[in-house]
Amino acid sequence: MHTQTAVRTDQFHRFVPVPRNPSPPTTHALDGASEREPLAQSMHLMGAVMSYPRNAEIFGDNEPAEYLYKVIGGAVRTYKILSDGRRQIGGFYLPGDIFGFQFAEEHTFSAEAITDAKVLVIKRSALTALAGCDAAVARQLFALTSCELRRMQDRVLLLIKSAQQRVASFLLEMADRAAAGNVVELPMSRQDIADYLGLTIETVSRTLRCLESSAAIEVPSSRRIVLRNRSALNRLNS
Amino acid sequence: MHTQTAVRTDQFHRFVPVPRNPSPPTTHALDGASEREPLAQSMHLMGAVMSYPRNAEIFGDNEPAEYLYKVIGGAVRTYKILSDGRRQIGGFYLPGDIFGFQFAEEHTFSAEAITDAKVLVIKRSALTALAGCDAAVARQLFALTSCELRRMQDRVLLLIKSAQQRVASFLLEMADRAAAGNVVELPMSRQDIADYLGLTIETVSRTLRCLESSAAIEVPSSRRIVLRNRSALNRLNS
DNA sequence: CGTGATCTTGAGGGAATTCAATGTCGGTGG
DNA sequence: CCACCGACATTGAATTCCCTCAAGATCACG
């Protein structure tokens, strides 16, 4: 009937489940004065740090959403496999980011470690109970959800733009979140980026090359990108 | 540099602001036993009903988000004009739907009446104050935001699909929300649908014709659509 | 019944995908 | 140390889907 490629065999391994909960939980002490907000404090008190190797599943689609997660180190992706075999990435989460809270009773996405990752895991029920008592915590949970909603709205706006605009927006977003100066270290593969932006891996690759030849960026190695001309990227982004 | 059409002159009127607050507010009595949930009750107690003629602006982009809105009658669209002149529709809101709450301190979208509409307007501060006291109200506000987040996630999944899949999904969504049996009365124009789905008006029109010739739907008049074969639409939707 | 708005239909072009092949990098073992 | 291998990334050619542009059809309304 209609196109939209199924999973290529040479990339199918990406969708094979990986054994989870690979390392035992570690109780986590509150680390001094670094955390001021009530929510962050409570999470660190109540949570346990888990380690996940690259590509390990953190939680699966359709599982009960019993926990919230906060990235301590490494990077995480949430994703969904569509019935036609394609994968849509819900979001990338870097140290400090919280994920898993945006979902209802059951997760609508799965989550995997992009790189080896340390994740703080908190029982959702404990946190909502706390929110019942502490209005500040409740407000912060609400703010978190609103923030995620805003990011989703931005995704919608992103997905109606051209490939160049999507890639440029992505680079600027990553630069804001994970850059040292103008150098962006991407933890994710081209396939991850493509599935995030709703493009193919080839289009992402070609677009990066195109941005490079227009002197907006440099790509010294495939996972490292240097922003040479942010305003040009912003202009594309429009 | 790159394509993506600006606003066609023959449609420019759609983006011209219209005088707002056209009719005086009316105090609104709680209508008996029909409203059971605490949130709905409170809103009806605290709110005032406003009437907006077709295409009137309800609130504008970048305005402080002082109020929440609940559709009583008619239909409403939220939208955003991109810098290249295109319009993205954030959502359609039908009687019973609440809008305006998903936004932060300032609205990130504008809202307009699609048809003549009656809207219950509630001061946000009153509601959040109430939520501070009444945990049930707070929980419902949170649920509302989560629901909107879910819908945005669905939009993201929608926007990476083909034109056929987008239109089919749209029809099924509208059928769930506004259908009498299999007959869907669309309050919005083809342009609205196109801007909602990230397509052009021509593609929407052609896709509907295509669905009709495959016997999945009938289009007796441009605003009325009969679903003849939901499973075929669902199959496309995949 | 004319006029403008909305919708449909057709032809042509362009951007992104598909398919296929080649290139690069990091590791592992000879 | 180098050769080989798999994973990942890039590049090219052909195709397809959707957009653009243009013209006609339909509808609502004065």
pLDDT digits (tens, 9 = 90+) for B41-78: 777 778 899 999 999 999 998 889 999 999 999 999 99
Residue B12 pLDDT class (50, 70, 90 cuts): very low
Residue A55 pLDDT class (50, 70, 90 cuts): very high
User: Tens of pLDDT along B98-151?
Assistant: 999 776 778 889 999 999 999 999 998 898 888 888 888 888 888 888 889 999
User: Tens of pLDDT along B205-214?
Assistant: 999 999 999 9
Same structural domain, B22 and B139: yes
Select the highest-mean-pLDDT range: A33-37, A101-105, B233-237: B233-237
Does B30 score more than 50 pLDDT?
no
Give the pair of three-digit tokens for residue B69. Answer: 């809105």
Select the highest-mean-pLDDT range: B28-32, B137-141, B182-186: B182-186
Name the domain count of chain B: 2
**What residue has token string 């939680």?**
A59
Does B32 score more than 50 pLDDT?
no
User: Tens of pLDDT along A213-237?
Assistant: 999 999 999 999 999 999 999 998 7
Which of B148, B174, B190 terminates a domain? The answer is B148
Interface test with A, best of B87, B107, B139, B160 (most A CBs within 10 A): B160
User: Tens of pLDDT along A61-81?
Assistant: 888 999 999 999 999 999 999
B84 CA: distance to closest CA in chain A (Å) = 7
User: Helix or strand or coil: residue A88?
Assistant: strand
A218 CA: distance to closest CA in chain B (Å) = 20
Mean pLDDT, to the nearest integer, of A176-186? 91
CA of A202 to C1' of D12 (A): 11
Same structural domain, B200 and B99: no
Q: Is residue B184 in a domain?
A: yes
Residue B238 pLDDT class (50, 70, 90 cuts): low
Q: How many Å apart are CA B103 and CA B101, to the nearest integer?
A: 5
Which value, to the nearest 10 degrees, does the dihedral of the CA atoms of residues B46, A104, A24, A14 take? -140
Single-letter code of the amino acid located at B73: G
* Nearest Cα residue to B31 out of B17, B21, B45: B45
| Cross-chain Cβ contact A152/B157 below 8 Å | no
What string of DSSP letters covers chain B? --------GGGGGGGS------S--EE----GGG--SHHHHHHHHH-EEEEE-TT-EEE-TTSB--EEEEEEES-EEEEEE-TTS-EEEEEEE-TT-EESTTS-SB-SSEEEESSSEEEEEEEHHHHHHHHHH-HHHHHHHHHHHHHHHHHHHHHHHHHTS-HHHHHHHHHHHHHHHHEETTEEE--S-HHHHHHHHTS-HHHHHHHHHHHHHTTSEEEEETTEEEES-HHHHHHHH-
Select the highest-mean-pLDDT range: A125-139, A185-199, B95-109: A185-199
CA of B223 to C1' of C5 (A): 14
Q: What distance lies between CA A88 and its chain's CA centroid?
A: 12
Does A25 score more than 50 pLDDT?
no
Which of A121, A148, A175 terminates a domain? The answer is A148
Q: What is the pLDDT of residue B103?
A: 61
Same structural domain, A178 and A119: no
Q: What is the pLDDT of residue A16?
A: 37
B173 CA: distance to closest CA in chain A (Å) = 17
Which range (A187-196, B7-16, B53-62) has the least confidence?
Answer: B7-16
CA of B153 to C1' of D7 (A): 31
CATH code, domain carrying A177: 1.10.10.10
Task: Provide the domain limits for residue A186.
Answer: 163-237
A229 in contact with nucleic chain C (CB within 7 A): no
Alpha helix positions (H), A53-200: 124-133, 135-159, 163-178, 190-197
Q: What is the pLDDT of residue A106?
A: 84
Same structural domain, A102 and A194: no
Q: How many Å apart are CA A61 and CA B232, to the nearest integer?
A: 25
Measuring from the CA of residue A198 to each C1' atom, give the nucleotide at the shortest distance: C16
Which of B148, B176, B207 terminates a domain? The answer is B148
Which chain B residues have any C-beta within 8 angstroms of a chain A C-beta? 1-4, 80, 82-84, 86, 88, 90, 102, 104, 108-109, 132, 135, 138, 141-142, 145-146, 148-150, 152-153, 155-157, 159-162, 164-165, 198, 236, 238
| Cross-chain Cβ contact B104/A150 below 8 Å | yes
Q: What distance lies between CA B61 and its chain's CA centroid?
A: 16
CA of A163 to C1' of C14 (A): 13
Q: Is residue A21 in a domain?
A: yes
